Amino acid sequence: MPEGEFTYRTAAEETWRIFRIISEFVEGVEEMTRIGPAVSIFGSSRTPPDDPYYQKATEIAAKLAQRGFAIITGGGPGIMEAANKGAYEAGGTSVGLNIALPLEQVPNSYQNVTLDFHYFFARKVMLVKYASAFICFPGGFGTMDEFFESMTLMQTGKTDPMKVILIGESFWGPLVEWIRETMLAEREAISPSDLDLFSVTDDLDEAVEQICSHHKATETAAKAARRMTAEGTVYGVPPRISRIQHGKQS
């Protein structure tokens, strides 16, 4: 095929792709429903073991595992490895949700629950649906994607409030300032209350206590009162479609 020529897929190929997607969801749901309360930890895959944030991720994962939480990561190196290591060595449940990439991701060796994904969106559902809290360490585009995904879900009411904690005041501070000064004050693209959807700290014990308190508070019948979708978000109101016919709205 000439370089740059577009590849068209047949209807049959697209149909079989749907079955592959379904299989990832089925396997993920079957495995993840068994892990109990969990915290998803995100951060850069490029963080080396001698980095202070690697050590912090290991430490906070161990503390949470000792408090009964499973630790979920993307299964790769860097912060993901550190978090899995902390949970694994503390005797907790250490979940790695690995992804097939063009540049091969090597799964870290600290997982006692391992799942492999081809699709980022299927993997993301598992990272979000089964966690009651997120911890974001310094990272790149993937970490930002997970952070803002959690903000969007809570801001729109599509999920019950989660505890989202950003570890690293020097890293996250400039972004928070931009959110406050540009998104909120200058553009009015968010509401003041949206700044309360997350917190920033360097105190690991404080972060652990926030997560434990939040989890205890949400273990109530009130949570069950909201009708949830299969992917773990709240059912919404279908959009009202207006049609203009003969100059009249119907």
pLDDT digits (tens, 9 = 90+) for 10-49: 888 888 899 999 999 999 999 999 999 999 999 999 999 9
Q: Which fold has domain 30-218?
A: Rossmann fold (3.40.50)
Q: Would you state the pLDDT for residue 224?
A: 53
Given this model, what pLDDT does residue 212 score?
A: 97
State residue 136 phi and psi, 5-degree precision: -115, 120
pLDDT at 117: 96
Q: In angstroms, rounded to a whole number, what is the distance separating the alpha carbons of residues 79 and 81?
A: 5
Alpha carbons 228 and 202: distance in angstroms, whole number: 34
- Per-10-residue mean pLDDT of the chain, 250 residues long, equals 60 88 97 97 97 98 98 97 98 96 84 96 96 97 97 93 96 98 98 97 98 90 57 70 49
Q: What angle do CA 132, 34, 146 make, to 5 degrees?
A: 35
Q: What is the pLDDT of residue 225?
A: 56
User: What is the model's pLDDT at position 194?
Assistant: 97
Give the integer Cα–Cα distance in Å for 41 and 60.
Answer: 10
Tell which residue, 71, 81, 147, has the closest CA to residue 110: 81
Position 243 scores a pLDDT of 47
**Which one-letter DSSP state was computed for residue 45?**
T
Report the alpha-carbon distance of residue 236 to residue 207 in Å, rounded: 31
Which run of H or E residues covers position 24? helix 11-32
Burial of 76-90, coded b for 16+ CB within 10 Å and e otherwise, reads bbbbbbbbbbbbbeb
Alpha-carbon span 143 to 45, nearest angstrom = 10
Sheet holding 70-73, edge to edge: 113-117, 94-99, 70-73, 38-42, 133-136, 163-167, 199-201
The pTM assigned to this predicted structure is: 0.86
> Phi and psi at residue 117, in whole multiples of 5°?
-125, 145
Q: Are strands 248-249 and 199-201 parallel, antiparallel or unpaired?
A: unpaired
Q: Supply the pLDDT for residue 11.
A: 80
Helix (H) or strand (E) holding 222: helix 221-224
